[in-house]
Amino acid sequence: MAHWWQTGIVYQIYPRSFQDSNDDGIGDLPGIIERLDYLQWLGVDAIWVSPFYPSPMKDFGYDVADYTDVDPIFGTLSDAEQLIAEAHARNIKIIFDLVVNHTSDQHPWFLESRSSRDNPKRDWYMWADPKPDGSPPNNWLGHFDGESAWEWDEATEQYYYHTFLAEQPELNWRNPEMRAAMLDNMRFWFDRGVDGFRLDVSYRAMKDAELRDNPPNPDWEPGMDPFRRLLEPHTRNIPEIHTFNKWLREVADEYEERVLIGEISLPFEELVKHYGENNDELHLPFNFDLIHREWTAEEIRSSIADYEAALPEGAWPNYVLGNHDQHRFGSRTAPEQIRIGMMLLLTLRGTPTVYYGEEIGMLDGDIPLNRVQDPWEKNVPGLGLGRDPERTPMQWDASPQAGFTSEGVEAWLPIASGYTTINVNNERSEPASILMMTRSLIRLRRDHAALHLGGQTLLDAPEGVLAYERQVEGERFVVALNFRGEYTAFAAGDEGNIVFSTYMDLPPADSPLRPHEGRLLRI
């Protein structure tokens, strides 16, 4: 029997930006509950909700001050429980976000840890002595500014390590008490019915015990992200990370049918090791390769082929086109690529994760300087690293705040231009819209085992076309995606019947692919 997280579609919600229910300009859990009927109508099987825990919001919730409660901005613990119940009532699974690598500096654990060198929780975080000249213990760099990742603590005269903001101190997973406490935080939510976790930068959770320097990156040049100046053999994906994965997996396995999804950015050969030698680590190490490859039929074909070739026996693939850290798909490529992008995501072998708004073709918002929120953009301005553009409010309708919040309320980020046409209401009434296309694809995937479970074979295709077959016994489909803005002949065998086109019509079987058209043929 296949697992729900293999056959299903995951939908990511960035809670600040989905639906505001109390007119403070920030989305919240009751807002998500209000929109569950929409998600059920769309046909997704699971939602992953980015962090909503109590937080000083230095990194908008990825700085957690309490793993077992809800920030008042987002609601209450009982709202979280209601969200789980209401999602389940609609047959939608719930995945929460577990920030395993660091906490907020306001987490009671860290407040204790920094209070004195002999505090019992001192070792729950990564503290180290300065070098003899007073400088930081090694050369490790911070992700959000490219400067030393070590923060000096005047009171106790040691440095603490933080990959992200100084307000996000790094946990020490080698400490058994901290580990037990964090694993109990997982159980807290599993006991309340949560179906899984997305694990924030899970591959960074263990660091070199000897704190060795990272080597320089020979490919780095001025003008690039300053954090990339060094390679990172000692701060991510170190051998002990597989022990860490197993600690978490053992807890997930105490429950039925739970899923662990790892946020991991690594080349395939290293990425796939996170499934575990016996599939005993993470169920789904995120595959971000579609985001990083050049968007051409040939590059995407080789991404799929390389990934499939690297996957170990029994490992289930997955794909992602966007998330809250990446510019939106249609803005990275071009708006006319959105339809085939969506079709690719929803017809490949493996679990797709859809980022909120992708289903309507949302694009990056323009963020005026005085509206910048992301600390990364504030620290390293102008390089396009900031993540506000892809986090703008969900576009529900054409009213002044796009239905995200009430008229007259200022949303925490500006509504993206184009929302008067790119919105759920409008697209629900347009039979050929991106939304209706996405929903049809979701239906097709759900209705056909070949698409949600079947095998996959890449096919030969003319330049600019990506084609593959999906099959189970007695059922065969061919997907053909035209990446180019030109008509291109493509033959998928004689008996091919077109059952779907991204143009939302059914053209004659022998007609050439139209510009940027994706087709599904039943063979």
Binding residues for ligand NOJ, per CB under 6 A? 59, 62, 99, 164, 200-201, 263, 324-325
Using the minimum distance from each CB to ligand NOJ, give the nearer residue, 103 or 245: 103
d(CA 329, CA 333): 6
Residue number, 244 or 490, with CB nearest to ligand NOJ = 244
At closest approach, how far in Å is the CB of 408 from ligand NOJ? Answer: 30
Distance CA 92, CA 300 (A): 30
List the catalytic residues: 200, 254
Closer to ligand NOJ by Cβ: residue 164 or 500: 164
User: Closest separation between CB of residue 146 and ligand NOJ, Å?
Assistant: 15
Of 100, 106, 77, residue with least CA distance to 170:
100
- Contact criterion met (CB below 8 Å) for 304 and 461: no
454: Cα separation from own chain's centroid: 24
CB 172 within 8 A of CB 126: yes
The least distance separating ligand NOJ from the CB of residue 387, rounded to whole angstroms, comes to 7
Name which of 153 and 325 has its Cβ closer to ligand NOJ. Answer: 325
Q: Smallest distance from the beta carbon of 323 to ligand NOJ, in angstroms?
A: 7
- Give the shortest CB-329-to-ligand NOJ separation in angstroms: 17
Stated as kind and residue range, the H or E segment containing 178 is helix 176-191
Q: Rounded to an integer, what distance in angstroms lies between the CA atom of residue 453 and that of residue 473?
A: 11
Quick one: 40 or 379, whose CB is closer to ligand NOJ?
379
Tokens of 409: 């309320």
Tell me the residue number closest to ligand NOJ, measured at CB.
62
Task: Report the nearest approach of ligand NOJ to the CB of residue 400 (Å).
Answer: 28
Q: What is the spatial distance between Cα 168 and Cα 126, in angstroms, rounded to a whole number?
A: 12
- Cβ burial of 316 (10 Å; 0-12, 13-18, 19+) is middle
Question: Which ranges of 321-476 does DSSP label H, i.e. alpha helix?
Answer: 329-332, 338-347, 375-379, 424-428, 434-447, 449-452
Q: CA-to-CA distance for 411 and 454, rounded, in angstroms?
A: 43
Shorter beta-carbon distance to ligand NOJ: residue 274 or 470? 274
What is the distance between the alpha carbons of residues 19 and 6, in angstroms, rounded to a whole number? Answer: 28
Q: Residue 196 phi/psi, 5° resolution? A: 170, 175
CA end-to-end distance (rounded Å), the chain: 26
The structure tokens 């008996």 sit at 495
